[in-house]
Amino acid sequence: MKVKRIALSPSGKKYSINDLNISLNINEGELPRTKLKDDLIQTSKGEYVHLYDANFKDNFVNIQKPAAIINPKDAGMIIAKTGMTKDFVVIDAGAGSGALACTLASLCKKVYCYDINEKHVEAVNQNISDLELNNITCELKDVYTLEPVEKVDLMTIDVPEPWRVLEVAKKALKKGGYLVLYTPQITQAQKAILELDQDFHHEVTCELIKRDWEIEGEKVRPSHTMLGHTAFLTFIRYYPKLVETKIVKKTNPKKSARLERLKHKKELSAEEELKTMNSFNEI
Ligand SMILES: C[S@@+](CC[C@H](N)C(=O)[O-])C[C@H]1O[C@@H](n2cnc3c(N)ncnc32)[C@H](O)[C@@H]1O
């Protein structure tokens, strides 16, 4: 059920309010149902509790997680780096818990997500319903053999063999569209990149390291613990070529002349060295 409002106690503790028609009992006393839409309530124990409307994030934290989910730092990078807008149509494979798919759906026009695990598809559909998203579908399908239903601006891939998605990506992506691989292991990214043909342009593979800080009075320092590794992100752009193209290296005439001179000098010194060696041999 969707969280409607959040009650914030004087100690900073947060309580979720799912039903605005039922009074809520919290440690600080009772919050009467008739006041749940107010901004401030005095509880039955005389404590003041502030209330505010819940947003996507307040609900997102409660999603079912049958599979490891994408970390917000990585989801944020995908959104920023691909220039995702409210007009984007996206394919997300495999959906897992739907964390990435739902995050994208909260911002863009349409998300199609797919997974081969029935339980994961069920959980994702429950999450979609709990988050009240109406622009996302999740189906039980193998993404390696997917027949896309429409052209998309972005494909996000979180499956064990991302190189097997390249042919599907060609059918699915609009010209200039993005293919983003989320791979826990760098060898997965490497294998996919090695299999790219000239219709794909590998922009960058990166890893984001996030370090939290503790700031409490005089104590200002990094946290003792941090999440060491999530995954590598590989950004690939689809630029289908109408004719076979060769990469022609630009040459700088001044640099080329200098290189020629150096080469000539080296050849001369090599010749001289040979002559000297020969004369030694003659002795
Ligand atoms: C780690 S989870 C993805 C988590 C997801 N990115 C999220 O943020 O919630 C990987 C998923 O890929 C699915 N999967 C593996 N191979 C697949 C395939 N060929 N087609 C579709 N889904 C696949 C698995 O069942 C699993 O649920």
Mean confidence (pLDDT) of the chain: 92
Enumerate residues lining ligand 1, CB below 6 A.
67-70, 93-94, 96-100, 114-117, 120, 142-144, 158-160
Q: How many CB atoms lie within 10 A of CB 279?
A: 9
Q: For residue range 192-248, list pLDDT tens digits in order.
A: 999 999 999 999 999 999 999 999 999 999 999 999 999 999 999 999 988 876 666
pLDDT for the residue numbered 128: 97
Measure 93 CA to ligand 1 centroid, in angstroms: 6
Enter the pTM of the model. 0.84
Range in 1-10, 91-100, 208-217 the model is least confident about = 1-10
* pLDDT over 70 percentage in the chain: 92
pLDDT band at 274 (very low <50, low <70, confident <90, very high): low
Q: How confident is the model at residue 260 (pLDDT cuts 50, 70, 90)?
A: confident
* 109 secondary structure, DSSP code: S
Instruction: Tell me how far apart the alpha carbons of residues 187 and 207 are, in angstroms, rounded to a whole number.
Output: 14
Tokens 């996507």, residue located: 56
Q: What is the predicted pLDDT for the residue at 249?
A: 63
Give the contacts of 217 (CB within 8 A, at least 6 positions apart).
Answer: none
Q: How many angstroms separate the CA atoms of 161 and 139, rounded?
A: 19
Separation of CA 69 and ligand 1 centre (Å): 10
SS3 of residue 101 by DSSP: helix
Instruction: Output the pLDDT for position 101.
Output: 98
Q: Name the residue at shortest CA distance from atom 13 of ligand 1.
A: 94
| Number of other residues whose CB lies within 10 A of the CB of residue 114 | 21
Domains of the chain listed by start with CATH number: 5-54 (3.10.330.20), 64-238 (3.40.50.150)
Best probe residue, ligand 1, of 114, 121, 158, 167 (max atoms within 8 Å of C-beta): 158
Residue 158 scores a pLDDT above 60: yes
Per-residue pLDDT band at 283 (split at 50, 70, 90): very low
pLDDT of residue 37 exceeding 80: yes
Q: Are the C-beta atoms of 143 and 113 separated by less than 8 Å?
A: no
- Return d(Cα 77, Cα 203) in angstroms, integer: 14
Q: How confident is the model at residue 276 (pLDDT cuts 50, 70, 90)?
A: low
Q: Which of 117, 140, 146, 166 should be mutated for ligand 1, with most atoms under 8 A from CB?
A: 117
C-alpha of residue 55 to centroid of ligand 1, in Å = 27
pLDDT (0 to 100) of residue 277: 57
Q: Does the pLDDT value for residue 5 go beyond 90? A: yes
